[in-house]
């Protein structure tokens, strides 16, 4: 029976969000986790504000 090639842990997209305790991944340093979380929160806020501006523009202008 032929062995099925497995993808390495770095090629799986959710592995970039791992903060540790995942087999085969080194834990991210605290500063990197904080920077990643800050970026994700700012991105979410930007999307909400953009959606609100588009909604306001379409309904009130």
pTM for the predicted model, two decimal places: 0.54
Check residue 50 and give its pLDDT.
98
| Residue pLDDT, tens place only, 6-25 | 655 555 555 555 555 556 66
Residue 27's φ and ψ, nearest 5 degrees, are -65, 145
Note whether 16 and 25 are within 8 A (CB).
no
Best CA proximity match to 36, nearest among 20, 52, 53, 12: 20
Check residue 35 and give its pLDDT.
93
Cβ-based neighbours of 27, under 8 Å, separated by 6 or more:
19, 20, 21
Note whether 18 and 24 are within 8 A (CB).
no
Return the domain boundaries, the chain.
Answer: 29-61
């Amino acid at each position: 029976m032929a062995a099925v090639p497995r993808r390495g842990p770095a090629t799986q997209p959710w592995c970039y969000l791992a903060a540790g305790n995942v087999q085969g991944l080194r834990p991210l340093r605290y500063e990197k986790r904080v920077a990643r979380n800050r970026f994700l929160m700012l991105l979410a806020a930007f999307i909400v504000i953009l959606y609100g501006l588009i909604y306001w523009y379409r309904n009130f202008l």
